[in-house]
């Protein structure tokens, strides 16, 4: 019993650490932007993530690598779109961060939840529960409150609009990444990082928007490794062991970490609009983090390859030589009908008739 508690605590720690790694990056990026142009910085952040995770991959146990499924040609369209969106999103975010305070930008990052959910529902036909629907409305209202500069003329802050555009890009990208979610998470982060990073760096050089300050370049690369590399890696590992809903609940503290740290670093005084939006955001994030989805559903016959174990109720195939723990191979899911709490992951992409 105690060992089970320790095991669960470790992955809760991973989820919280992932939130801390990303949440703290916004105010730190605000400081670095004083010396690094936004497009160049976006490239350095993702390059830092890709290069750092590539180094981590070399240090990884070979047997551990073999248990992960590799990306194939079938996933190539989603991979390319993921890289393109990861070029656009951080550029929008960095320019928005230049034009807005770090606390507001941190809080606006919650709009990524709305974008991800709506795109999943509209384009990929995923079911959205009542709690998620309420959360979408609340977070959208809070984002509007944060984005309006002048209520008398309904003028919007350009910085806030750019941050929301970044969230929309990441919302689409999240849905592309979900199509790769059964593949090696380290490989995904490396492709995201190096592909998006190098593309952004080339654009920065073409536009003559770059810096040669070695200290700030290395600092930004390190920030990218922590905020865009290690954070995603820790999140995926936590999700595999805690489930999507519980991991989201812990990771949802990231924007609030960024906001709190911004007030400490920049000694900013929260506005009334910020406090109103903060209260609405907290309620919205609570609803989406603790969404429960359970009903009788059917798993159609499916053949695919990914890392798995035989303790989750979905992988019931038999091996000639029994295998204990995580492993990877091409396997078949036979027709299965059962009821349990679940998320719209690769094993639960069934339709909902009501």
What residue ranges in the chain does DSSP mark as E strands? 148-150, 155-156, 294-299, 302-308, 327-333, 336-341
What's the pLDDT tens digit per position in 166-185?
A: 999 998 988 887 777 677 87
- pLDDT attached to residue 28: 95
191's tokens:
């492709």
- The least confident of 108-117, 137-146, 236-245, 305-314 is 305-314
Mean pLDDT of 23-30: 94
**DSSP string for residues in 261-295:** HHHHHH-PPPPHHHHHHHHHHHHHHHHHHT---EE
What residue ranges in 154-266 does DSSP mark as E strands? 155-156
Task: Name the β-bridge partners of 298.
Answer: 337
311's tokens:
């303790």
Mean pLDDT of 83-93: 94
| Per-residue CA distances from 90 to 29, 125, 168, 176, 285 (Å) | 11, 27, 11, 17, 23
- pLDDT attached to residue 32: 96
| Per-residue CA distances from 68 to 4, 181, 184 (Å) | 24, 11, 5
- pLDDT attached to residue 299: 59
Over 60: is that where the pLDDT of 232 sits?
Answer: yes
What is the H or E stretch that residue 213 is in? none
The alpha carbon torsion through 132, 135, 141, 145 (nearest 10 deg) reads -140
Confidence of residue 194 (pLDDT cuts 50, 70, 90): very high
Over 90: is that where the pLDDT of 287 sits?
Answer: no
What's the pLDDT tens digit per position in 92-143?
A: 999 999 999 999 999 999 898 888 888 888 887 777 778 888 888 999 999 9
- pLDDT attached to residue 267: 87
> What SS3 class is residue 299?
strand
Mean pLDDT of 60-89: 81
Per the model's pLDDT, the better-predicted residue between 6 and 212 turns out to be 212
Most confident of 77-86, 239-248, 280-289: 77-86
In angstroms, the CA 191 to CA 79 distance is: 8
313's tokens:
């109720």
Most confident of 15-19, 164-168, 178-182, 287-291: 164-168
What's the pLDDT tens digit per position in 149-169?
A: 766 655 678 999 999 999 999
Q: Hunting for tokens 């609340």 — which residue is that?
A: 138
| Per-residue CA distances from 76 to 50, 58, 165, 232, 353 (Å) | 18, 24, 24, 20, 31
């Amino acid at each position: 019993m105690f060992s089970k508690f320790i095991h669960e605590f470790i992955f809760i720690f991973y989820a919280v650490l992932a939130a801390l790694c990303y949440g703290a990056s916004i105010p730190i990026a605000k400081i670095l932007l004083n010396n690094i142009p936004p497009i160049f910085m976006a490239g350095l952040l993702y390059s830092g993530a890709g290069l750092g995770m590539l180094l981590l991959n070399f240090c990884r146990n070979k047997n551990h690598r073999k248990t992960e499924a590799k990306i194939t040609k079938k996933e190539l369209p989603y991979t390319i779109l993921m890289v393109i969106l990861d070029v656009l999103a951080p550029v929008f975010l960095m320019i928005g961060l230049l034009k807005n305070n770090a606390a507001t930008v941190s809080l606006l990052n919650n709009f990524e939840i709305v974008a991800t959910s709506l795109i999943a529902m509209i384009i990929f036909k995923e079911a959205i529960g009542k709690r998620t629907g309420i959360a979408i409305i609340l977070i959208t209202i809070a984002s509007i409150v944060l984005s309006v500069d002048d209520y008398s003329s309904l003028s919007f802050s350009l910085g806030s609009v750019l941050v929301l555009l970044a969230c929309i890009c990441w919302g689409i990208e999240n849905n592309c990444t979900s199509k790769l979610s059964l593949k090696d998470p380290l490989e995904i982060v490396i492709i995201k990082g190096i592909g998006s990073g190098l593309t952004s760096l080339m654009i920065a050089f073409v536009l003559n928007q770059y810096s040669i300050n070695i200290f700030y370049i290395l600092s930004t690369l390190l920030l990218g490794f922590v905020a865009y590399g290690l954070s995603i890696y820790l999140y995926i590992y936590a999700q595999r062991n805690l489930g999507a809903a519980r991991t989201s609940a812990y990771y949802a503290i990231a924007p609030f970490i960024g906001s709190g740290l911004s007030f400490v670093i920049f000694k900013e005084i929260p506005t009334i609009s910020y406090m109103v939006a903060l209260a609405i955001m907290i309620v919205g994030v609570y609803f989406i983090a603790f969404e429960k989805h359970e009903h009788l559903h059917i798993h159609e016959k499916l053949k695919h390859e990914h890392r798995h174990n035989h303790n989750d109720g979905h992988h019931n195939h038999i091996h000639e030589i029994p295998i204990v723990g995580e492993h990877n191979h091409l396997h078949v899911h036979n027709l299965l009908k059962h009821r349990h709490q679940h998320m719209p992951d690769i094993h639960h992409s069934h339709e909902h008739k009501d």
